[in-house]
Amino acid sequence: MIPILISLLLTAHGQPGQDCNNRMGNRCRAGVRQAARGTTPLAFFEFANAQGYGLPPVCSPPNWLQWSEQLQNVVWNTGSSVVALPTITPDQATAPDGTPTADRVVFPATTGTQYSIVYQTALNPAGPGMVATGSFWVKGNAQSGTLHYHMQVPIVSGTCAYSASTWVQCSVSYTASGNSVLVIGQDSADTGATPWAAADVFLWGAAVNIGSSAAPYTKTVGTAAGPSVSGAKGEPVTWTRGSTAYCTRSAAESSIANGDLVLMANNQPRVMALGGPLGVLVESSRTNPVLQSESLDNAAWTLTASGVANPTVTPNAATAPNGTLTAERVQIPAVTAAQFSAIEQPAGACPNALDSASLFVRGNATSGTISLVVGSPVVCLSCAYNSTGWSRCEPASFTLASGGLFLVGNDGVDCGSGQGAQDVFIWGTQCEAGAYATSYMPTASVGVTRSPETAVASLTMPQQPISIAWTSGVALPAAATPDRVGVMLRALAGSGDYSAAYFQSQFRADVVGTATNVVTGAGTSVVGDRWAMSHTVSGVLTTFKNSNQTGTATLANTLTGATVIGIGDSPAGASQLDGINSRVCVDPSPSRCR
């Protein structure tokens, strides 16, 4: 008998020009189509599967506009000078995604200093040198013509030729000096008195994204949003994170290009690989107490030296990993073992705990090693760099009994040896409580806390027997504490019985129901290791690493009460994997998931 499957293959909602050949916003149903072709139904919750369909965008930039398909909403403003305001009639035509959600907008003709526009200020982060793109879809209402639009500040204009026969996407990119404003309409005042003819058009799908081209369109309502994820059969996955967070496009943290760090909106999944299988990053809550993490010229930082000159700091001298012109150039003289020259933030920059410090560094046509000195008493860490790309320096963790400073530079005194002169770009300083570094959290005048992530899918299958597997995108030492969950079957609120595959000092599988069944073993994990557990009706619990059995135990146990599959998290976000989770498999066959 073919087992009933709850199969969750992470896919993205289809977007223009993306996978599944969808033109607009329709969900990709790769798993459904494969099953319809008569092949084996998918059993995996994964990204980048071998078949190559249903691939979501990696770190797809969110749409920072609100109510992107409802121009009559209060978040959109209208304005005019001399001529009438544009008139907006909602839901008057079929949109590119097949829904009746395109708004009719009528703009009067303008000339001289006249304008008639609809506009919205986006929620995107601002930063010097940040490139943003505004876009929307337009079609003529029984007419053809040209529609003006622009982004600001500063104003960069575009024109869009439209017709009544087809939808066309219009977009313009610019280097933002603040929050982006998308302006649509006839505007002679800002185009050198250019006359613009009246336009009667349908508009839909407005967006502002970070980057030099329009990102795959994502519909928004009351907040910014990016592509969501789902299972192979379209099962919804609820993703929760109460803050923005960075996603990394690069394959390794030793070769990060400008713009590889993409800021994701609240509740937006972070799809990435970072040297392992493509998956989703699920992280716990962390705090970065280092102030002005991108502004080493700020008064929060102090130049310090003994026996040689202070470092020279040039602000906003290079493009940073997030694409903004915010990386600082730091020139540091050579030192002997009795000298130092550095930039520091005093006591309080690192917590009183087991800590991890990190920063991004790139050589200015140079390569070498700078020192990262933390704590009190101090701990000296080394950060290697080159000029070909950004490296995120994440030295080994350290324990601070009394917290302490965060110092970057050449420190022969604390590090015990001399160092040559350095000419580097530095960005994104961070010190957090924990045995390993997590994704970067930018700060200004106060420390910043990233919210914990939870990702759950509904559980509608028999809960015993069961098999669970997932592929880890994170290296885990034998002392992997706190608990780091790969997959957990549980009640939504976390109470009641559960089945979990996770790390607690080593790989561990728990089944807690009428009795408790636990198996530990298999030790450490490297990126790409596949972990699995199997639980039979008779109570045999077995664990596997890369398909090889690592442990077993038997205890009669009936598992009931689970209603969701937790993906890389446990109840209320208490024990996240803090890593990339991929190819999650959950199945009522005890042997299906390996």
CA distance 298 to 316: 12
Residue 114 belongs to domain with CATH number: 2.60.120.260
Region of residue 522 (left: phi > 0; alpha: psi -120 to 50; beta: else): left
* Residue 572 pLDDT: 58
**pLDDT for the residue 322:** 93
Which pLDDT belongs to residue 31? 34
Q: What angle do CA 42, 47, 51 make, to 5 degrees?
A: 55
Domain closes at, from 450, 476, 497: 450
Question: Of 144-153, 245-254, 347-356, 542-551, which one has max mean pLDDT?
Answer: 144-153
Using a 10 angstrom Cβ sphere, with 0-12 exposed, 13-18 middle and 19 or more buried, the burial of residue 220 is: buried
Report CA-CA distances (Å) from 382 to 144, 329, 354, 376: 63, 19, 18, 17
Residue 571: predicted pLDDT? 67
Domain boundary among 210, 229, 255: 210
In a domain, 3, yes or no: no
Residues 293, 427 within the same domain:
yes
Lowest-confidence pick of 226-230, 359-363, 538-542: 226-230
> Starting at the edge strand that comes first in sequence, how are the strands of the sheet with 378-385 ordered?
302-306, 340-350, 404-411, 368-375, 378-385
- The 8-class DSSP code of residue 309 comes to P
Cα(402)–Cα(396) distance, rounded to whole angstroms? 18
Domain assignment of residue 58, yes or no: no
Give a yes or no: residue 232 inside a domain. no
319 in a structural domain: yes
> Which pLDDT does position 487 carry in this prediction?
78
Most confident of the following: 169-178, 397-406, 451-460, 572-581: 169-178
Contact 246, 440 (CB under 8 A): yes
**What is the rounded average pLDDT of the residues 363-367?**
96
3-state secondary structure 344-406: EEEEEEECCCEEEEEEEEEECCCCEEEEEEEECCEEEEEEEECCCCEEEECCCCEECCCCEEE
Strands 484-490 and 422-433 turn out to be: unpaired
Mean pLDDT of 294-313: 97
Both 312 and 426 in one domain: the answer is yes
CA atoms within 13 A on the CB side of 419: 29
Say if CB 151 and CB 177 are below 8 A apart. no
The DSSP-derived string for 463-478 is -SSEEEEEEE-S-B-S
In a domain, 27, yes or no: no
The pLDDT of residue 233 is above 70: no
Coil, helix or strand at residue 530: strand
Mean pLDDT of 461-474: 78
Q: What is the pLDDT of residues 194-215, one digit of tens each?
A: 999 999 999 999 999 998 999 9
Q: What is the pLDDT of residue 280?
A: 86
Within this chain, do residues 387 and 320 fall inside the same structural domain, yes or no?
yes
Same domain, 391 and 408: yes
Whether 60 maps to a domain, the answer reads no
| Mean pLDDT, residues 241-269 taken together | 91
pTM above 0.85, yes or no: yes
Query: Of 350, 360, 439, nearest to 398 (Cα)?
Result: 350
The pLDDT score that the predictor gives to residue 198 is 97
CB atoms within 10 A of CB 297: 15
The pLDDT tens digits for 520-534 are 776 778 888 888 888
The answer on pLDDT for 16 being more than 60 is no
pLDDT value for 495: 64
Confidence (pLDDT) at 3: 32
The mean pLDDT value for 444-463 works out to 86
Return the pLDDT at 441: 97
Residues 338 and 413 in one domain: yes
Same domain, 485 and 552: yes
Percent of the chain residues topping a pLDDT of 70 = 86
Number of domains in the chain: 3
Is residue 21 scored above 60 in pLDDT?
Answer: no
> Higher pLDDT residue, 491 or 173?
173
Using the structure block, give the residue that is written with the tokens 């704590």: 375
pLDDT of residue 82: 96
292 φ, ψ to 5°? Answer: 50, 55
Average pLDDT over residues 16-21: 34
**Closest of 55, 72, 74 to residue 9, by C-alpha:** 55
| CATH number for the domain harbouring residue 524 | 2.60.120.200
Predicted confidence (pLDDT) per residue in 336-360, tens digit? 999 999 999 987 788 877 788 999 9
Same domain, yes or no, for 431 and 462?
Answer: no
Q: When comparing pLDDT for 325 and 40, which is higher?
A: 325
Domain assignment present for residue 251? The answer is no
pLDDT of residue 24: 38
Do 531 and 501 meet the contact criterion of CB atoms below 8 Å apart? yes
Percent of the chain with pLDDT over 90: 52
Mean pLDDT on 362-379: 90
- The pLDDT mean for the chain works out to 84
Tell whether 372 and 475 lie within a shared domain: no
pLDDT of residue 10: 36
- Which of 37-46, 67-76, 482-491 is predicted with the least confidence, judged by mean pLDDT? 37-46
At 25, is the pLDDT very low, low, confident or very high (cuts 50, 70, 90)? very low
Residue 378: pLDDT band (50, 70, 90) is confident
Q: Where does a domain end: 180, 210, 240? A: 210
Helix (H) or strand (E) holding 412: helix 412-415
397 and 539 in a common domain: no
Same-domain status, 294 and 442: yes
- Measuring CA to CA, which residue among 269, 350, 244, 286 is closest to residue 578? 286
- Rounded to an integer, what distance in angstroms lies between the CA atom of residue 19 and that of residue 37? 18
Q: Is the same domain home to 195 and 89?
A: yes
Enclosing domain of residue 200: 77-210
Q: What's the pLDDT band for 232 if we cut at 50, 70, 90?
A: low
Give me the pLDDT at residue 33, please. 35
pLDDT at 22: 34
pLDDT(2) > 50: no
409 shares its domain with 339: yes
Average pLDDT (149-154) is 92
- If pLDDT is split at 50, 70 and 90, which confidence band does 462 have? low
Query: Residue 581 falls within a domain, yes or no?
Result: yes
Q: Which of 325-329, 460-464, 580-584 has the lowest mean pLDDT?
A: 460-464
